[in-house]
Structure 1
């Protein structure tokens, strides 16, 4: 049975189906009987209900931080450094040497995280308005950032900083009273690291293999003597189809289009590592950087992990209080886990809670963005948050962390500025629910469509005072005017007397940031709200409370 035929079986029948590395053959994984209310099938997981804490929180902050931040050269460094001629390859040659002699395992070794203060950073994020905090537990580079029983040699307690990174973040989050989330990306190391199997095609070292195929025996006399690089790189397998095409991995993200299919041992090791993480650190939320769930549909490992997390929470809390997110979900899958949109947002009110994840720079710290002052502004972040909340979503914002564990002064200023707006206006954000419509105005007309897992942020026109976003809470309507009206009057067409959306008589309108009651006039076709002469702080988004 080939993969395309298998997909026709439907999601329920695929639970437990594993496609072997011998493409075109399949077998059923013989996993032990699963105990618990939730079983590892999409049908069973679809009984899930998103917990209230997540729906109320609206805004979380993320430390997408690991050894790939050590070079401070941007995203996917552990892949790009092996791609001859690329920016990161050239950077690596200059800073570290040739990747046949100094590979990513060696980058991990020099990463020390010596300025990391998790409590200070988590408190900064909490003060800025974040209601939950997420830390990266592993990336595609396959290093576990915790005391990992099933990745015992290649984890941050044994190599690099020799610190339990997740343990430190968790302790800080719990002390701050924030729900603690982890992001997990390692399922893709199998194909993502394939560039490490290559070699230069030109130059003095042409044909000399990079370090991606090294074995334990090769380490004699080196700093990594006794360690097996294959436990990290996982490259003892044939390359995926068109692996030399740098963009091919994106087409193969769901293990299609000729992707090399992971072995059973690889899938089960990923499963065991993740269960170990759950049982040791008790995360309130897991973010998976995968199509649907990790290794789906070639393994049911992700289904089993999710069922385990839900059952564990159910046993402890009587209701499921944990969250799992995944990308590119069909209708049934969106009932089972929370839909995550990467660097983008929905263009309508979604019937189920969802989340967008984005960052103010690159996912991994990039010194070039700092030097050129290309971070997203607090204004952009706040506009994104308001728009996402109006459509039943949450915003997870990454603040890139430097290799040493600190954030730079430009990032710190942005975080503090976000906090200024949130302190003044957060009652229009926390605990709200979508209204009958999400908003009005010209910005939405120019918004980009979702592509793949998202990537439509920033494609629309800038917000103006004609753009309004709505949310409701406690019988109060919040209408946020997305810029200060320079003529002093905000016009809200959806709240005119003839509007089918708001049929009650408006008694009072208050500027949330100052508490000032505003004069208004409701016409048949629109509501006019007269703004004060004095602008409050952070007046690039102005929440109105309407009763």
Structure 2
């Protein structure tokens, strides 16, 4: 009988872990508006942009493997299962080999102006670049570490464009892009996070923060210093995009929401603890240098998560707050050989679906180890851009209609004042198009974007029947857009 309380305790803890399992849908239910009206106004401007570029790039691109995660000692298919084969027989030697990639990283074809031009022609308006991922390798010239692309041990350090973050930001800024800096809060290279006195056991700090507060303070200072470098030395920043949501403030008795990975049926942490880096102070510091900076502390509900970032999926009916779907163009976030890129039609339909639901679309492409994008990626951007040029007025600056669409093949947007609506048809009508969700009046005029002729329509019971002549199918190769105005 004396064992019953312990059994009950374990059962209760298991239940709590199950109930608190974090997934993106749960995260999407929490949002805390920034108290600063200027930031809220800036978010409205960001919502006008609609379409952005995300780039994961680092030393891992040389091996063509998952970004950072192969050095994480967790038994996850996309972490340990994503390791480069034939490199080492044990974890310790593998990490050494991984970190030695700094000594061979030499992207001699690096040309950020080419990236910026392609992204601009595709209709993208903002960009987010991985200045540092979880592995801790800095793609900028940080004075707080030698694990960086500009270190003398890196062959690219002698290149006049070795500070690639500065070069990328400058090239995109010249094309009038909003500039976003991705930065990983956890750093698996620095001794202040994965302390060499102890072996790492998972993605978290590998020592007791409560027992060693001085070591944690060093890490907090290190993190603040690096982010302040980006805010001070790299021109105007518009977005600070922080990843690694397990580095967060949490009470000692809180069952941390990020503990369980449902898809893998495993635990994210063996020793959960408070990993507070004082985000309010950090935001105050960087906004002193970058006023109106949008801060995205991903997956951490609070005032420092200015917009939400569902990953690799589109919310079923949108979200009632600022949000952005981040999604890969291929199958991987970082470069892998022979990656399979989504067809242009699918990418355009995803853009329309997201925008119709009030979100932005942040599309990721991973540059290769030589500094080039895959030719297929350039082709996809070109195809998207051709469609955007015809239909841009239905995308940029638009807002969600009172319903986002009808079924799976029709979507709506409207102008901010609501005077003009847009109907997106994923399939060109074989016969007349029936619409049931959007109101028409006797003075309503319809025009297919890309054509100067008006479309005829008539009321048919509770629906509207629109005549779209077959000759107009050639105005685009993908989604057809009808402009509705009075």
Q: What is the TM-score when the length of structure 1 is the normalising length? A: 0.68
SS of the residue corresponding to residue 377 of structure 2 reads helix
State the 1:267 CA deviation: 1.9
CA contact (8 A) 2:399 2:413 kept: no
CA contact (8 A) 2:68 2:133 kept: no
Match of 1:489 among 429, 432, 437: 432
Match of 1:264 among 207, 217, 232: 217
What is the aligned length? 412
Change (3 A) 1:264 1:232: closer
SS of the residue corresponding to residue 543 of structure 1 reads strand
SS of the residue corresponding to residue 99 of structure 1 reads helix
SS of the residue corresponding to residue 388 of structure 2 reads helix
Residues of 1 paired with 2:95 and 2:34: CA distance? 49
Residues of 1 paired with 2:440 and 2:413: CA distance? 15
Change (3 A) 1:506 1:61: farther
Match of 1:328 among 295, 299, 306: 299
Residues of 2 paired with 1:490 and 1:54: CA distance? 34
State the 1:480 CA deviation: 0.9
State the 1:87 CA deviation: 5.1
Residues of 2 paired with 1:347 and 1:506: CA distance? 33
Match of 1:479 among 388, 403, 423: 423
Q: Which residue of 1 aligns with 2:282?
A: 305
- Give the stretch that moved more between structures: 110-119 or 154-163: 154-163
State the 1:347 CA deviation: 2.4
Change (3 A) 1:156 1:101: closer
Q: Which residue of 2 aligns with 1:524?
A: 461
Q: Which residue of 1 aligns with 2:142?
A: 148
Residues of 1 paired with 2:249 and 2:450: CA distance? 46
SS of the residue corresponding to residue 117 of structure 2 reads helix
**Deviation string for 1:391-425 (max 9, x for gaps)?**
22111111121011101111111111111111111
**Deviation string for 1:410-452 (max 9, x for gaps)?**
11111111111111111100011111121121x3xxxxxxxxx
State the 1:88 CA deviation: 4.2
Change (3 A) 1:304 1:545: same
Change (3 A) 1:155 1:57: same
User: Which segments of structure 1 move beyond 6 Å, counting only runs of 4 or more?
Assistant: 80-85
1:236 aligns with 2:201: no
1:118 aligns with 2:112: yes
Q: Which residue of 1 aligns with 2:186?
A: 188
CA contact (8 A) 1:141 1:189 kept: yes
CA contact (8 A) 2:424 2:482 kept: yes
Residues of 2 paired with 1:129 and 1:431: CA distance? 13
State the 1:505 CA deviation: 4.1
Q: Which residue of 1 aligns with 2:478?
A: 540
State the 1:184 CA deviation: 0.9
State the 1:312 CA deviation: 3.5
1:512 aligns with 2:481: no
State the 1:80 CA deviation: 6.4
State the 1:488 CA deviation: 2.9
Change (3 A) 1:44 1:532: closer
CA contact (8 A) 1:60 1:397 kept: yes
State the 1:468 CA deviation: 2.6
Residues of 1 paired with 2:475 and 2:71: CA distance? 43
State the 1:532 CA deviation: 2.3
**Deviation string for 1:490-536 (max 9, x for gaps)?**
221102xxxxxx36445211111334321222233212222221323
Q: Which residue of 2 aligns with 1:105?
A: 99
CA contact (8 A) 2:400 2:412 kept: no
SS of the residue corresponding to residue 349 of structure 2 reads helix
- Give the stretch that moved more between structures: 280-289 or 510-519: 510-519
CA contact (8 A) 2:426 2:478 kept: yes
* Runs of 5+ consecutive residues of structure 2 not aligned to the other structure: 1-31, 251-274
CA contact (8 A) 2:318 2:358 kept: yes
Where do 1:273-288 residues align within 5 Å? 273-281=226-234, 282-288=236-242
CA contact (8 A) 1:58 1:395 kept: yes
Where do 1:86-485 residues align within 5 Å? 88-93=82-87, 99=93, 103-151=97-145, 153-158=146-151, 159-160=153-154, 161-162=156-157, 163-185=162-184, 187-190=185-188, 230=190, 234-236=194-196, 238-239=198-199, 243=201, 249=203, 263-281=216-234, 282-291=236-245, 295-297=248-250, 298-314=275-291, 320=292, 322-330=293-301, 333=303, 337-361=306-330, 362-369=332-339, 374-441=340-407, 443=408, 464=409, 467-473=410-416, 475-485=419-429
Change (3 A) 1:440 1:237: farther
SS of the residue corresponding to residue 120 of structure 1 reads helix
Q: What is the TM-score when the length of structure 2 is the normalising length? A: 0.76
CA contact (8 A) 1:136 1:182 kept: yes
1:49 aligns with 2:49: no
Q: Which residue of 2 aligns with 1:451?
A: none
Residues of 1 paired with 2:73 and 2:102: CA distance? 13
CA contact (8 A) 1:82 1:89 kept: no
**Deviation string for 1:435-486 (max 9, x for gaps)?**
1121121x3xxxxxxxxxxxxxxxxxxxx3xx3333334521111112222x
Q: Which residue of 1 aligns with 2:23?
A: none
CA contact (8 A) 1:289 1:327 kept: yes
